[in-house]
Structure formats: structure tokens, C-alpha cells
Amino acid sequence: MEIKRYANAKGGKKKGGEIKMALASQELAILSSPREKAAAGIDPARYSIQIALLSPSKEHYNTTFPVCANTVEELENILPKDIPVVAEGFGTTSRIFFLDLSQKGYTLWELNPALGKHLRILEKEAHTDSLDARSIARAGLYFPDRLSPICLKEERETLTSLLRMRREMVKELTADWNRLHASCLTLTAVI
């Protein structure tokens, strides 16, 4: 049985546009220099991710991508592999997405959501995906010792996905049996 690489993927269309991709590619050369320290912040959601690429001098990139298979390839054109990629509470997004990033050579870190909330409070910023991604990237720049590494293994993630699907199937089967039992009881009461 083949497992879907990304659950509930919504299309695969580019959200950023070609102009933003070209600008990001030009700034990628700037970030590759050893003088500039940078970090990428990912604010994951169920169907999309907000990514901010930040250095101490400026914000280089901040846009939304759908969670689908070609997003990882698009990110390879934007994000250098030597910068840390920080995600806050990556459990809402398909873990297979982060596994693919890890297999492409990115170093993944997780920010404790409570620390991310405190960073937003200190900056007195609203709670939007764009600002969240920026504050997550700032945590990667200024608090790298407060981050936890994300270690994903393909076999484990595949088994986790299968187990989740099995639980859903058992739940649906139980509901069907309960409905059948209720209709049998109704029929016996009528007879």
C-alpha cells in the first residue's frame, strides 16, 4: 500500500510568485558569505507553512507555501543548507514534510511554543503567521542554545502514519457497527 507523502495537500501552486523567487535567489548569494549569520523560521499549520529567512541586518524572505511535495524543491532554491531551520511545534504539519527537509540536508531545530510566545510578547507583535515565522527565525539567530534538534527517521514516520490511518479506520468501523446494531434493535422493536 502506498502512503500519501503529504496528507491533505492543497494543490501545489506557487504562492510567492516568480519575482519574489528571483529576489530570494539573489539574496541567497549574500547569505552564503561567511560574514552574514542567518536563520529560517517556519510557522507550520495543517495545510500551509509560513517561512521567514532572517539575518541580523534584514529580513530576506517571508512568504506562505502549501504543504505539498514540490514545496521542498522550491525551498531548496531559497534556503541555503548551512543555515538552521527552526520550527515551532511542528506536530500540526505533516512530519513527512520535515523528514524530506532533513533528507535534503537541512539542519532542523524545534522551538518550544512557550518560548516563541514569550518572544512575541517581548516584541509586542500581533499573532499572525508572518510575524510568528519572523520571531521563530529570531530565536534561531539569538537563542540557538534554547532549541531542540529534530531527529526524524523515515521508517518511524512511515509506521506512525500507518498507525494513525489504522486508528482512523478502526474508529470508522466501530461507528459503522454501532449504527448497524442500532438499526437492528430498531427493527426488532418494530416486529
Look at residue 174 and give its three-state secondary structure. helix
Instruction: Pick the more confident residue, 153 or 86.
Output: 86
111 and 157 belong to one structural domain: no
Question: How many folded domains does the chain comprise?
Answer: 2
Among 8-12, 67-71, 102-106, 127-131, the minimum mean pLDDT is found in 8-12
Does residue 147 have a pLDDT over 60? yes
Same domain, 72 and 27: yes
Neighbour-count burial for 72-110, b at 16+ CB within 10 Å, e otherwise: bebbeebbeeebbbbbbebeebbbbbbbbbbeeebebbb
Q: Are strands 59-66 and 148-149 parallel, antiparallel or unpaired?
A: unpaired
Task: Provide the mean pLDDT of the chain.
Answer: 75
Dihedrals phi, psi of 160, to nearest 5 degrees: -60, -40
Asked if residue 102 is part of any domain, the answer here is yes
2 is a domain residue? no
| 142 and 163 inside one domain | no
Expressed as residue numbers, the domain containing 106 is: 18-152
Whole-number percent of the chain with pLDDT over 70: 73
Identify whether residues 67 and 159 lie together within a single domain.
no
Question: Is the whole model's pTM more than 0.75, yes or no?
Answer: no
CA proximity to 131, closest of 171, 92, 88: 88
pLDDT for res 177 = 95
Q: Does residue 126 fall inside a structural domain?
A: yes
Instruction: Kindly report, residue by residue over 163-180, the tens digit of the pLDDT.
Output: 888 999 999 999 999 999
Specify whether 103 is located in the same domain as 63.
yes
- Residue 170: what pLDDT? 95
